[in-house]
Amino acid sequence: MFGRDMLRGSLELMVLSVLADGSTYGYRILQRLAEASGGQVELKAGTLYPILHRLEARGSVRSRWDSTTGRDRKWYALTAAGRKALRREADEWFAYAECVQGLLRPALRAI
């Protein structure tokens, strides 16, 4: 499990990426994150749902209730704005990661 501070900046980005695959629901998002990260990212429900609500408030995702399967379930999907945000933030993330790598490599050689 990655350190909390490390994760904090990128949780929303991760959630958006899971949603890029298609409409899904909270529990499933947690599973996907755990699977995709090889068990390294195990979010708790209490962490995920505030993020989803925040994203919805921002207009990056939209939700709908569906009870057709007999289960009262809330499904989330990326909006167009959400897709744009994902692209933009992913770019920023890669740039950031490169920057940090650029600093770390020589530093590790030095110590």
Partner 1 sequence: MSEPEFEHWLRLLGRLLDLSDAQRDNVRRELRDHLETQLADLMARGFSREEAVARALDEFGDAAALGRDLSRLNVRRRWIMRSTIGLGVAAAAAVVVSLFLPVDPESSRTATGQETAATVEAVPDAPEFASPADRRTRTQLSQAIDRLELEDISLENVITYLRETSGLNMHVHWRVLEAAGIEREQPITLHLTNVPLGKAIDLILDDVSGGEVALGYEVDEGIVRLSTIDDFDRRTDTVVYRIGDLIAPALSEAQKIALRNIVTSVSTLRTGHSENLSSDQIEKRLDEMVDTIQTILETRRGDRLTEMIRETISSDSWRGNGGDAGSIHLWHGRIVVTHSKRIHRRIQELLEQLRRTESPVS
The CA-CA-CA angle for residues 17, 65, 37, to 5°, reads 25
Q: How far is the CB of 46 from partner 1 (least distance, A)?
A: 4
- Scanning the chain, the segments in alpha helix (DSSP H) are 4-8, 11-20, 26-36, 45-58, 80-110
* CB contact at 8 A, 25 and 73: yes
Who's near 58: CB < 8 A, 6+ residues apart? Answer: 85
Of 63 and 83, nearer to partner 1 (C-beta) is 63
7 or 36: whose CB is closer to partner 1? Answer: 7
- Return d(Cα 84, Cα 78) in angstroms, integer: 10
| Site residues (vs partner 1, CB under 8 A) | 25-27, 44-47, 49-50, 53-54, 65, 71-74
Residue 69 or 101 having the CB closest to partner 1: 69
Nearer to partner 1, 1 or 45 (CB): 45
**Residue 1: CB minimum distance to partner 1, A:** 13
Shortest Å distance, C-beta 13 to partner 1: 16
